[in-house]
Amino acid sequence: MINHSLKQLADMLASKEISSVELTQEYLNRIAQLNPEINAYITVNPELSLAQAQAADQRIANGDAGPLTGIPIAQKDIFCAKGWRTTCGSRMLENFIAPYDAGIIERFNAAGAVNLGKTNMDEFAMGSSNETSYFGKVQNPWDRSRVPGGSSGGSAAAVAARLCAAATGTDTGGSIRQPASLCGLSGLKPTYGLASRYGMIAFASSLDQAGPMAHSAEDMALMMNVMTGFDERDSTSLQREKEDYTRELGKSLAGIRIGLPKEYFAEGLDAGVAKVIEAAVDEYRKLGAEIVEVTLPNTMLSIPVYYVLAPAEASSNLSRYDGVRFGHRAAEYDDLMDMYCKSRAEGFGEEVKRRILIGTYVLSAGYYDAYYLKAQQIRRLIAEDFAKAFEQCDLILGPTAPSTAFKSGEKADDPVSMYLQDIYTIAVNLAGLPGMSIPAGFAPAADGVELPVGLQIIGNYFDEARMLNAGHAYQQVTDWHTRMPEGIAS
């Protein structure tokens, strides 16, 4: 049961082979068994989850069920959920109980899905390893000594360890795709503006986007049908007609043009990862795709551009946490300014402080033109690179991450090395394009341990349905997405 697809679980619920209460309890039992070590969840509330499951069973009995009704979904702890503790992985919000539902949560509730719990994450979504969380690091189910990736590492670990049927994540610079790659699952970052940001605690407002994390492309298509849609409460939400993201699944890939950016296969890519990606490209040739070489010349500038723009937006967004209105407040202080300083010093972790300081610096009067404005200009060049590439191809393929999962603590004292983990993903966010990662095989780490490798598929704006079909077609001829880590089956 724990390895079934969302569609299979929905069929089991519809046929009364199992109830949502029984399915939810099965996952809650697994969380109680495995989460103390993996640390994928920050908050679990069995009473709330089982109440939703009972309501879902009633909907199914009344013939009012949708594809996700009764399915237990884990929610990244960046989404406000009414009555649930919502921490964003930070001491600053350690005891915050959300008084309302985020737009994404509303949509899952309306679909009848069960909120299984809130997953661990890098603090305020700042990190690539899920080691910056105030609630402790998350362990990769494939090798507990390694990181699961970040910032949606808790969601990725929960899906990989079968502690939920699927999960939500957010992607600011690769935070869905990179942990999906490191944990051997599928993850999708939609076109910017497709999924509501209302009630999603902001990191970098022009980059953040919610998306699904699941076992397969088909599962993600079903989740996209629920997650996307216009939300008037979100000024960045796009007003478009609702799509069915399953509509392309099963179509032939004959004649589709797939671009391979030469910059993605240059220095810095692990040899084992490169071998896996090349094998995946060969599978696409067998499926009838035409492989062409493209170039994205400004790819290497995406890291410095991102680490000017994202901290600048974070500096603005996180200024609301001052110890006055909500969030952590220092117990002792001399005056208002001292309260601000001590509350923020105690409430924020080191990585968050680092990015706030960088962002404040690049936005300051003397450096705005030299850094922030210049970064925005290069951001436009990066988007133009993709526009030119899509004149030659329909989809772009490449590695999701330059390596497999690294050891916990290995890059903790080297922020630049950590930032380079997102070298292949950040440009997609800067351009606002959709990107996804699917399991493509395994590669040996330096110590010989075989670990998952993700294949990244990048599409043009609003081309998610074609991307999902490309992923689905690959998953029909491979079984990488069905592999399970050892020791998590029972």
- Show which residues are catalytic: 76, 151, 175
Q: CA separation (Å) from 249 to 245, 353, 470?
A: 8, 44, 8
DSSP letter (8 states) at residue 284: H
User: Could you tell me the two tokens for 331?
Assistant: 């117990």
CA atoms within 13 A on the CB side of 193: 15
Could you please report the per-residue DSSP string of 415-463? HHHHHGGGTTTHHHHHHT--EEEEEEEEEE-TTS-EEEEEEEEEESTT-
Q: Which residues contact 181 (CB under 8 A, 6 or more apart)?
A: 149, 187, 399, 400, 401, 437, 452, 453, 454, 456
Q: Does a cis peptide bond (omega within 30 degrees of 0) precede residue 315?
A: no
Say how far apart CA 206 and CA 309 lie, in whole Å.
9
Cβ neighbours around 303 below 10 Å, total: 18
Task: Give the integer Cα–Cα distance in Å for 263 and 71.
Answer: 40
CA distance 451 to 104: 32
| C-alpha torsion sign, points 82, 84, 90, 92 | positive
Answer whether 315's CB lies under 8 Å from 359's CB. yes
> Where does residue 481 rank: exposed (0-12), middle (13-18), buried (19+ CB within 10 A)?
buried
Q: Give dist(CA 134, CA 124) in Å, integer.
A: 10
Instruction: Name, in order, each residue with C-beta under 8 angstroms of 267's C-beta and a sequence gap of 6 or more.
Output: none
239: burial class by Cβ within 10 Å (0-12, 13-18, 19+)? exposed
- The distance of Cα 18 from the centroid of its chain, to the nearest Å, equals 29
Q: Which two tokens stand for residue 426?
A: 């950040």
